Each structure stands twice: as C-alpha cells, then as structure tokens.
Amino acid sequence: MPRIAIAGFAHETNTFSPTPTDFADFLLSTTTRSGLRGAEILDNPDFAMPIGGFAAAAREAGDELVPICWYAAEPAGIVTANAFERIVSEIVHGVATAGRLDGVYLDLHGAMVAAGHDDGEAEILRRVRAVVGPDMPLVASLDLHANVGDGMVREATALVAYRTYPHVDMRETGARAHAMLRWCLAHGRRPAVAVRRLDFIMPPHRQSTMTEPARSIYAQLDAIEAGTPGLASLSFNMGFHLADIPMNGPSILAYGADEASAGAAADALASLAASHEKAFGIGLLPPAEAVRLALQQPAGKPVILADVQDNAGGGATSDTTGVLRALVDARVDDAVLAIMHDPEAARAAHAAGEGATIEIALGGKLVPGHVPVRGRFVVEKLAQGPFAFTGPMLRGNTGDLGKVACLRIDGVRVVVAEGRTQCLDQAYFRHAGIEPAAHRIVVVKSTNHYRADFAAMAERIIEVEAPGLSSMNTGQLPFTRLREGIRLFGGGPAFRGRG
C-alpha cells in the first residue's frame, strides 16, 4: 500500500494589513482547531478542511498515512519569520524522519506571504522537495484564491484548487488531490502541466460561484475536465487581490498525460474566463444608501447587508463601524450584526453581566482614522467557549471566539467577540442568542463566504462599501510590485510600476 506523509500550513496574507501573523496566531481556534500534530489530524473524521477529505479518501483506498502537523491562522498581515520557520521546520523534519514514503500531500492556501518570501508556498514546497528528491509525488491542495507563482508550479508535482466560493468543497478538493497523487503513482512520472495567467485582477466580491459569471465558468471547468481525453486535473485560481506581489492575479493549472491535453484544457478555460472580464468590476453601495435600500424591501425575509470590506477572512480587523453607524443614525428598529471584534467591549459586558447597561466605545479602534460608536448598550446575552458550526462550510468543526456578548443599542443588536473571524455561519449569531432569520436586517462582516449559510434566508443581498482593510476597490490600493500591465479590475486601468 502507498505510504503518504500529510501536513498543512495555510494562511491568506493581506500585505496591506499592519498586523503581522505570528506563531501564536496559528494556535488559535476561532473557526477550527489549529496546531494539530500527528494523530490529532485524524481524530475528527468529518474535519471540514482539505486534509480531512484527503485523509478520508486515503483511508478508503487503503493507504497508510503519516500525519505530521496542520496549522492555519486567520488572514492578516505578513507571516513572521518566527512563525514561518517554526512551522516549515516541523513539516520538513516530519517528512525527513517519516521513513519510507511513496508520496507527500500538503494542505496549503496559495496566498501566503512570509517575511523574506513573496511566495510562501513555493518556499514550503522547495524545502520539502529538497528532502524527498525530484521524483517523489508532492501534491498540494490550494484555496480558490491562490496567487500561483512559477516556484509553486516548479516544485509541486501537481496543485489542485477549490472550485467553490463560498468554499463548500474543501473536503472534496482534498479527495481530488488524493486522486491526483494516485495518478502520479500509477503513471510513475510527473504529469504534463499547462499554466495560463489572466491579465486582470478579480475583486473577490464578484467571485462567488453562487452568482454569475463565476457559476458558469466553474460549471464549464467541470465539463472541460470531463471532456478532455488524457486530462487529469483542471483548476482555476481566481487569486487574492490584497497582496502587493508580482504573482498576484488569476491563474489556470491543467495537468494531463501530455502537453496537448493540458494545453487545450487550459486555453479553453482561459478564453472563457477572459470573455467575462467586464463582469469583474467594483459596484458597491455606501452604508447610508444601503440601509435606505434595505428598509425599502418588503417585510418578511431578512435583507442581508454584506460589510464586504471589513472581512476578517481577507485580513481586515472586523471592528470598523461604518455600517453600524449608518444603522444607528437611521434609527433602524430591527437589525443584527456579526461579528464585531472588540475584546475590551466583550470583557466589559461579561464583567457587567446579562441585563446590565454599559456605556462604552464600540469598535473603530484598530484602523487609523476610524472612530468607535459611543453609547449606552444593553447586555442581552453572554456566551463563552466552543460551539458547533451548522452551515455548509464548516459543519463538523467547532469554533471558539472567547468571550462573546450580544449588545443592543436602540433597535440594533451586535455580536461582539474577543476573537476575530468573518461571519460565515449562522452559528455565530445563535451562539449569542440571536436567530438571524427572525430579524429585518442582518449585517455580516464577510465578502462571500456568508452566502453558503445566509443566501437562502434572504429577501435580498446588498453589498456595502464601508471602509475596511479588505478593500474591494483594487483600483485604489497602493500597489507597487504587481506584474506590469495587469488590469486592476475587470475593464480597469493597467498597472504601471510605481517605484
């Protein structure tokens, strides 16, 4: 039976964030357990991550797994040298001391920037490759938002990416990575690879595979893969826009028995995606206008206001107050918001107790130029400790945001937490005693992942352009190092070197 080492190290790095990501951040468990070692990786058979799907497929195939470690952290600023070296060294040491191996699988993200390494994943793969040699299958799964550089393609035998955003196919991606590794073992060689890069950045609020044009693009990806003889794997990485690095941008990866099959598939998909370029523009509403529009919708199902630029999943602080202030100023009588990351406010609420009224400055503390919402808040509900996710993305995992409180100011209820993460599951509201479907306006600090668990309950979804560190307006970001000539959004201006 094949003997396969498995490990994971995932981070989506916002190079515009002033908050570095250190080793301690990889030990937090806001959305899933991290810092897993050895057999801990296999403890949860429903682990809703690619490595969980790979492990399930490997067990079914009768493979022997050698689990090493698995680390992931909330998106934020550049990964420190301390964190990068500690985790990569742990992976490399685990591979080097694993004994006989037939292959290695790595659960990566594809958009990690570490101190000294623009392409963090390329360096991880390079170091593992140096241990296992040039011929051993080294397969990695990637997030749909991977910024794939030449180094990643060179060092990996194959790279396999998600096909959904929200990412509801993470386990399936792990299983497809396992199938790709088995392909390499069966053929006894590396597959031919074709890489194509698109000439424009795709703002992520336009990338959802639940909406057009991404829905149709990925449906056609499946058809091209199934209909191309000799093709083993086809991936479309839409890229992570908040990275000021030369490899920022969408890419297509095709692997097959020969260059002809890989090239034909990559060309077909690249042509299709390029034909939809103008759909990947900006188009957001200011907070006050978004609130007015929400109040005009018929009563019944909630209206979702997506605070897309304060998305912790893109490295934002999840503490900006643009939408909250618009709700309070409009005297909205029934709105709920999650998640406001404010450890100070969460602790004050817990100190005061349920039913108390506290006078605090909420949010607006972590981004220069932002201001809190000051006022008297009623502590309606307190919670603390782990809770189970129920939505399509993370069902099977548990989260822990530390101290959590539901604070009400007039008709607006805010889920306030010590931990920082995006609101991609209704469990975040329910943990704080709120049933989101029962309220008129539901505000989620998330760019697209919320759609997996919230879209079906919504009368309408309105994307809001409130300021935050996960800016969707790529044309206004202070890039200096992008690939020359890449357009900053669909139909937008081309980047020209700025220094």
Q: Please check whether residues 50 and 129 belong to one and the same domain.
A: yes
Q: Check whether 30 has a pLDDT greater than 90.
A: no
Which regions of 308-399 does DSSP assign to beta strands (E)?
335-341, 357-362, 373-384, 387-388, 398-399
Per-residue confidence at 499, pLDDT binned at 50, 70, 90?
Answer: very low
pLDDT, tens only, 197-256: 999 999 999 999 999 999 999 999 999 999 999 999 999 999 999 999 999 999 999 999
Secondary structure letter of residue 438 according to DSSP: G
Span 131-158, pLDDT tens digits: 999 999 999 999 999 999 999 999 999 9
Query: Could you read off the pLDDT of 457-467 as tens digits, one per residue?
Result: 999 999 999 99
- Domain shared by 242 and 293, yes or no: no
Q: Is 158 helix (H, G, I), strand (E, B) or coil?
A: strand
Instruction: Give the pTM.
Output: 0.92
> What is the per-residue pLDDT for 430?
98
- 488 within a domain of the structure (yes/no): no
Residue 480 falls within a domain, yes or no?
no
Report the relative pairing of strands 460-464 and 357-362 from DSSP bridges: unpaired
Question: Does residue 499 belong to any structural domain of this protein?
Answer: no
Examine the fold and report which residue of 279, 309, 336 is the final residue of a domain before the chain moves on. Answer: 279
Asked if the structure places residue 477 within a domain, the reply is: no
Domain C-terminal end among 279, 309, 342: 279
Q: Which residues pair with 138 in a beta bridge?
A: 104
Residues 306 and 207 grouped into a single domain? no
Statement to judge: residues 144 and 17 lie in one domain: yes
401 within domain boundaries: yes
Same domain, 349 and 329: yes
**Residue 481 pLDDT greater than 50, yes or no:** yes
User: 338 lies in which domain range?
Assistant: 287-472
Residue 71 has pLDDT above 60, yes or no: yes
**Cis (ω within 30 of 0) for the bond into 339?**
yes
> Is the same domain home to 38 and 176?
yes
Query: Which residue is associated with the tokens 């449906």?
Result: 219
- What is the pLDDT at residue 31? 82
* Whether 57 and 165 share a structural domain: yes
Instruction: For residues 491 and 499, give the distance between their C-alpha atoms in angstroms, rounded to a whole number.
Output: 24
164-193: per-residue pLDDT in tens?
999 999 999 999 999 999 999 999 999 999
Tally the domains of the chain.
Answer: 2
Around Cβ 425, how many Cβ atoms within 10 Å?
30
Helix 170-187 × helix 50-61 angle, to 10°: 50
Predicted confidence band of residue 456 (pLDDT cuts 50, 70, 90): very high
Confidence grade of residue 498 (pLDDT, cut at 50, 70, 90): low
- The pLDDT-based confidence of 33 (bands split at 50, 70, 90) is confident
Look at residue 299 in the predicted model and tell me its pLDDT: 85
The reply to whether 191 and 259 lie within a common domain is yes
386: Cβ contacts below 8 Å, ≥ 6 apart: 29, 398, 399, 400
